[in-house]
Structure 1
Amino acid sequence: MDLLDKVSLGTLLLHWLVVSILLLIVFWAMMKIVAWGKTMSRGAFLFLSFFPLISLFPIPPPQFENVQKAKQEQRKRKEDSGDPPEEDEGEASR
């Protein structure tokens, strides 16, 4: 059963329409919040006071750190299997 056979042009267009409408609603809401924040000094202060709360959520590590960890694990597996380390890997990482 091929998953792509079930996706028709109508389904694709419907998804694009829904995503576009949601993006427009988010953009419109942000513009309204900014306009409200500019007109009321208390509103702007309240609006800006919620931004530090974003930093409470954990930030995932960057992708390149995950790649480095995977490379180190791969080297450990090669050493454990008894294969000699390849010389090209050291030159490629520089």
Structure 2
Amino acid sequence: MDLLNSIGIKDVLLQYCVGAIMFLILVNCLYKMVIWGKKMSKGAFIFLAIFPLISVFPIPPPAFKNVEKAKQEQHKRNEDSGDPPDEELD
């Protein structure tokens, strides 16, 4: 706990400076990639062909099943409670 209490303004300022420097390095690298892509169109096509392979983790499918299951459970609870069914206008 003493470590957490000893964090001062200098540490916070240092974190912001490191974050800003990392952001500037990222922007510089992206700018150089754009310039490189304009000079070497074949290299840009190769990069664009390899870029999708970077995302190894698949995107999970939407949870439609969970939504349908929740609607069915809610409908069952309404029937079990004895409330009259809601009239829906179609």
Structure-1-length-normalised TM-score: 0.56
Cα distance, 1:2 vs. partner?
A: 5.5
Task: Mark the runs of 5 or more structure 1 residues left unpaired by the alignment.
Answer: 73-94
Structure-2-length-normalised TM-score: 0.58
CA-atom RMSD in angstroms: 3.1
How many percent identity over aligned positions? 51
Output one character per residue of 1:32-70: Cα deviation in whole Å (capped at 9) or x when no partner.
0011011111111122112211332244688xx6xx7xx
Code of the aligned partner of 1:23: F
Larger Rg: 2
The size of the alignment, in residue pairs, is 68
Say which structure is richer in helix. 1
**Runs of 4+, deviation exceeding 2 Å:** 1-4, 54-62
Within 5 Å, give how 1:44-63 maps onto structure 2: 44-59=44-59
Q: Which residue of structure 2 lines up, in the alignment, with residue 38 of structure 1?
A: 38
Task: Mark the runs of 5 or more structure 2 residues left unpaired by the alignment.
Answer: 71-90
